Amino acid sequence: MTLTHLNTLLAFAISLSGLLIYRSHMMSSLLCLEGMVLSLFMMMTMSTLTSQATLTNMLPIALLVFAAFEAALGLSLLVTVSNTYGTDHVQNLNLLQC
């Protein structure tokens, strides 16, 4: 395992631990999710470069498309929640309310 692979795996682990630790605020959770997606993109790009398979060349681009959708949806949800409740605390959200 090269140093680049190790750093990318460490970035994913740090983002995952940040998601578990800072889950009380929605903005922190979204930033940790973006870090996880970025490290997954780097892992997928490195594996595509080493495999030299033509079918896997589109996978990192597809992951970036889904990451953009996730970021847009997360930010719109953050704006809606902060305008409705006045804060971005996740504990204030009640999924049973209509």
pLDDT score at 76:
92
**8 A C-beta contact, residue 88 and residue 23:** no
Q: Is residue 78 in a domain?
A: yes
**pLDDT tens profile 2-36:** 898 899 999 999 999 999 998 888 899 999 999 99
User: How many structural domains is the chain composed of?
Assistant: 1
Give the closest residue to 20 by CA, choosing from 4, 41, 35.
Answer: 35
Q: Is residue 96 in a domain?
A: no
Q: Is residue 67 in a domain?
A: yes
How much is the pTM?
0.83
Q: Which residues contact 37 (CB under 8 A, 6 or more apart)?
A: 63, 66, 67, 70
User: In the chain, helix, strand, coil percent, each to 5?
Assistant: 80, 0, 15
**pLDDT tens profile 31-66:** 999 999 999 999 999 888 888 777 778 888 999 999
Residue 54's domain comprises 3-86
Q: Is the pLDDT confidence value at 94 over 80?
A: no
